[in-house]
Amino acid sequence: MPSSSSAAVQPGTLFVVATPIGNLDDASPRARSTLQAVALIAAEDTRHTRTLLASWGIDTDMISLHEHNEEARIPGLLERLRSGEDLALVSDAGTPLLADPGYRLVRAVVAAGLPVRPIPGPCALVAALSASGLPTDRFLFAGFLPAKSGPRQAALAQLRSMASTLVFYETPHRIAAALADAAQVLGGEREAWVGRELTKRFETHYAGSLADLAQRFAAGEEEERGEFVLIIGGADASTPATEIDADAVLEALLAELPASKAAKVAAKLLDRPRQALFQRCLELTQRG
Ligand code: SAM
C-alpha cells in the first residue's frame, strides 16, 4: 500500500460561474449544481451572493474576493486547489472577470497548471450586443469610460478610427455625459444603442444616432435610473486616420491640463515621443 504522503492528490478545479444580471431564472442548472457541489465559493460580495444562494437553498461556504484582497487570497486558494478541493468564483452579477474581479486569480491558477472550467451564462455586454442590431462580427469591449470628461474624451478619441462595434458599461449618473462626449468625439451620425436594465422588469432599449440619443438623454426625455450598456457603431472607411486622432486626444487633454502635462499623458496613451506632442500642443493652443 502506498503511504498517503506518496499518493498523488488529484488537484481540484476552479469553476468560473456566471450568475444572473437581473433575472434569477437566467441561472443555469449547471451553475446552481456547481455552486452547491464545490467546497468553497470565492464571491465578490458574500452578503450579496448569500442572498442569491439562499433563494436556491444552497449554503456552501464562502469567502470574499474583491479588488482589494484578490492578490492576498491567491496563495490560500491555490493551496486548497492543490489539496484536491473544487472551488467556484462568482461576482455580484454576470460573468466574473468582465469588469469584475477574478482576473488575477484565474491567471494564477492557469500559471500554476491547475484546472479552470467556465460555467458560462449571463453577461450584460453579450446580452446587449445580441439585441442591439449593431454588427457583432467584430466588437471591442472597453468596460467603463473614465468618469471625467477630459480623460473620457481622450479614451474615446483613441477608439475613433476602429472599425469594430464599441461596447461600454455605463453608470446612471454618467450615461448622458458619455453620450454627449461620444457624439462630440466620434461624430453624431454614428449608430448607437443603449440597453437599460436588461433582463429586468423595466428593461428598455434606445436606438438612434449618437447625436439623437445624446440630445434625448440631455433633455431628460429618457429614464436615467438603472444599469446601462452603451453600444456604438464602428468607424467606416471614411473616418480620418491616426494623425487626427492624436490631435483629438491632445485637444481633450488641453481642455483640462497645461501643455506639458497634456503632452506627458498623451505620450503614454499614444506611445509617441513627448517632445513632439508638446510641440503639437503649442501649435494647437496657438491655433486656438
Ligand atoms: N460581470 C458583469 C457582466 O457579466 O455583465 C458586469 C459587472 S459590471 C461591475 C456592472 C455593469 O454592467 C453595470 O454598471 C452595467 O453597466 C452593466 N450591467 C450589468 N447588469 C446589467 C443589466 N441588467 N442591464 C444593463 N447593464 C447591466
Phi, psi (rounded to 5 degrees) for 64: -80, 145
Distance 247 CA to ligand 1 centre (A): 32
8 Å CB contact between 70 and 105: yes
The topology (CATH level 3) of 125-232 is: 3.30.950
CB-count burial class (<10 Å; 0-12, 13-18, 19+) for 47: exposed
On average, the pLDDT of the chain sits at: 93
Percent of the chain with pLDDT over 90: 80
Among 173, 227, 230, say which to mutate for ligand 1: greatest number of ligand atoms within 8 Å of CB.
227
8 Å CB contact between 193 and 205: yes
Distance 158 CA to ligand 1 centre (A): 23
Among 16, 21, 170, say which to mutate for ligand 1: greatest number of ligand atoms within 8 Å of CB.
21
Among 91, 229, 230, say which to mutate for ligand 1: greatest number of ligand atoms within 8 Å of CB.
229
2-31: pLDDT as tens digits: 444 557 899 999 999 999 999 999 999 999
* 250 has a pLDDT exceeding 70: yes
Give the model's pLDDT for residue 248.
82
Q: What are the sequence ranges of the domains in the chain?
A: 14-122, 125-232, 241-287
In the three-class reduction of DSSP (H, G, I as helix; E, B as strand; rest coil), residue 92 is classed as: coil
d(CA 93, CA 70): 17
- Helical packing angle, 210-218 and 175-186, nearest 10°: 150
186-219: pLDDT as tens digits: 999 999 999 999 999 999 999 999 999 999 999 9
d(CA 87, CA 106): 12
* 237 has a pLDDT exceeding 70: no
157-194: pLDDT as tens digits: 999 999 999 999 999 999 999 999 999 999 999 999 99
109-132: pLDDT as tens digits: 999 999 999 999 999 999 999 999
Residue written as grid cell 446612471: 172
Among positive and negative, which fits the CA dihedral 200, 201, 207, 213? negative
In the three-class reduction of DSSP (H, G, I as helix; E, B as strand; rest coil), residue 209 is classed as: strand
* CATH superfamily label, 14-122: Tetrapyrrole methylase, N-terminal domain (3.40.1010.10)
Report field, pTM of the whole predicted structure over 0.85: no
43-95: pLDDT as tens digits: 999 999 999 999 999 999 999 999 999 999 999 999 999 999 999 999 999 99
- Helical packing angle, 175-186 and 149-158, nearest 10°: 50
d(CA 72, CA 254): 39
Ligand 1 contacts (CB < 6 A) are 21-22, 91, 93-95, 98-100, 123-125, 169-171, 195, 197-200, 227-229
